[in-house]
Amino acid sequence: MGPTAKRTWIHAWLFLSPAMILLIAFTHYPAAVTLFHSFFSTPRGKRSAKFVGLENYETLIADDTFWTVLVNNLWYALATIPLSIGIAIAMALWVDSKLKGRSFVRMAYFTPTVLPLIAVANIWMFFYTPGFGLIDQIRGAFGFAQQNWLGDPESALNAVIVVAIWKEAGFFMIFYLAALQTIPTSLREAAAIEGAGRWYFFRRVTFPLLMPTTLFVSVNAIINSFRLVDHIFIMTEGGPDNASSLLLFYIYETAFRFWDTAYASTLTVVLLLILFTVAIGQFLLLDKRVHYR
Amino acid sequence: MSAARAFRFDYDRALNTTAAWALALVWFAPLIYAVWTAFHPTEFSTRFVLTAPLTLENFVAAWNAAPFARYFLNTVLLVTSILIGQFVLCTLAAFAFARFEFRGRDTVFVLVLLQLLVMPDILIVENYRTMRFLGLVDTILAIGLPYMASGFGIFLLRQTFKTIPKELDDAARVEGAGFFTILMKVYVPLAKPTYLAYGLVSVSHHWNNFLWPLIITNSVETRPVTVGLSVFASTDQGIDWAVITAATLMTSGPLLIAFLLFQRQFVQSFMRAGIK
């Protein structure tokens, strides 16, 4: 390193180090040390943590709750991602068109984004209340029987999924809205002259042009499906019988209700592995499209 | 033929307008419902009669049932300290990435981007251990600290800084200005819209954050409103729905009002923050 390069290096690190120290302390270090702790036992009372090799992972494989929660989370992801993206595209197309009362419609779609998930969970909970909740009242008017949406293992997870879609679709709409505004109007005019129908135009022109946005939004949606668990705390507590529990919620329970930190670390390793898989997938898919200048 | 075409067009348009409005009403329903319940006596919680009397009793009851004033103060302190921390740390780091050529820059930048994927939100077990080690458990600083060096913020500001022509800081350097002066006098003022966008996104994100604050706080003096609300809604099972909805509206109130007033800026900020 020449003297100039060395001086630049020192300057750069003077600017970088405050952020990098915190970033490493609360992201990289904990991620690495999670893996380390997953090979140890949980310290209890006077017994300190000791190396147990793969014991925690053996427990994990034999743990029925873990598998239930993992399957729940995959189903949660598979349901929320395509539905929220589909709704987001529809919303963006509507808001982008010459719609009557467009600003109200846009506001209505976007409002859930700025509301705390924990707070709206209270409202949704009331919607789902058996008998006198809003959903049962509407169903009752058509002669359907009462249903305990959150108390029934068959419907609890789906009830939670609906809230997640409601919360996210408006947020994703924003990205599509931005993308739609970059599509030249000349394309639409040309298609109109050719006599292309609206649906045909959407399928062959708009949707392919939105593809980079869809990939970007999908990655966000996947991360969120493993991160957004706030409403579970209010609505179901993961119940009944873990029917609506998700991975991060289970990690929370294991670490801060049962105080089994070693096993919680092992569960976190699984979550990290899933996220790294997403990262690699994103890298392979987006490689050619997005490059950080 | 032209008449037929015009008719088809209108039909299509009417269908789209109806669908868009129906979806908007469904999306807005929880909020409308919350407003109805919160401003009417409990007996009208599920009876939608237009003549139902309006009341503020539910808000008074909620306000008196839990230390919400303190929770609000905590949240305001929290989002302000996070915002200041993020602005300072991310500005400095983004400047280094945008303007210095140094060995290992790209590797370090990948480490920063990694945080977009592995957020502190999911590393709750180890971060709790770190906070206990630092003796910071149950402080407002502990809630905010993991978020202050934000990968997203560094990325966003770096993108903005890179669009600023290098001639500007070369000119300043000729006049004898140091790097820090150039950053403060040239870069920061030109990046104002990015700061506004990032600030709005950050404040609404941390106002709403729940899981980490729930874990790291355990007293009235540190709990933000989201945690306070969950404690309030779960401990007092006997409390009626009208009061809980009033509390719910109260906690989201400031953000919601700000959003309704500055709707355009919010939407544009989220857009700007998302596209970069």
pLDDT digits (tens, 9 = 90+) for A259-277: 999 999 999 999 999 999 9
C-alpha distance from B54 to closest chain A C-alpha (Å):
19
On whether any CB of chain B is under 8 Å from the CB of A286, the answer is no
**Is-contact B202 B83, C-beta < 8 A?**
yes
Would A176 be classed as within a structural domain?
A: yes
For each of chain B's 276 residues, which pLDDT tens digit applies? 444 555 555 777 888 889 999 999 999 988 988 898 889 887 777 777 777 788 888 898 888 888 999 999 999 999 999 999 999 999 999 999 998 988 889 999 999 998 988 889 999 999 999 999 999 999 999 999 999 999 999 999 999 999 988 888 888 888 888 888 999 989 999 999 889 888 988 998 999 999 999 999 999 999 999 999 988 877 655 567 888 889 989 988 888 888 888 877 777 777 776 654
Please list the residue range(s) of chain B that carry CATH number 1.10.3720.10.
Answer: 60-275
Instruction: Select from B123, B125, B229 the Cβ nearest to the Cβ of A119.
Output: B229
Superfamily holding B60-275:
MetI-like (1.10.3720.10)
**Alpha-carbon distance A261 to A38, whole Å?**
9
A&B contacts, CB < 8 Å = 267
Would A226 be classed as within a structural domain?
A: yes
Q: In this prediction, does ipTM exceed 0.95? A: no
**Taking CB atoms and an 8 Å cutoff, what residues of chain A touch B226?**
116, 118-119, 230
Q: Do B245 and A34 touch (CB under 8 A)?
A: no
Q: Which residue has the higher pLDDT, A274 or A186?
A: A274
Indicate the angle between helix axes B192-208 and B68-99, nearest 10 degrees: 140
Within 8 A by CB and 6+ apart from A156, the residues are A149, A150, A236, A239, A240, A243, A244
Tokens 């820059």 belong to which residue? B105
Tokens of residue B177, six digits: 């200005």
Beta bridge partners of A40: A51
* Residue of B83, B273, B91 lying closest to B182 (CA atoms): B91
In which band, very low, low, confident or very high, does the pLDDT at A287 lie, cut at 50, 70 and 90?
Answer: low
- Position A2 pLDDT exceeds 70: yes
Would A41 be classed as within a structural domain?
A: no
Write out the residue range of the structural domain in which residue A118 sits: 50-286
- Position A248 pLDDT exceeds 70: yes
Q: Do B17 and A123 touch (CB under 8 A)?
A: no
State the total domains in chain A: 1
Determine the pLDDT at residue A196. 78
On whether any CB of chain B is under 8 Å from the CB of A141, the answer is no
Determine the pLDDT at residue A293. 34
Per the prediction, chain A carries an average pLDDT of 88
pLDDT digits (tens, 9 = 90+) for A73-116: 999 999 999 999 999 999 999 998 888 888 889 989 988 988 89
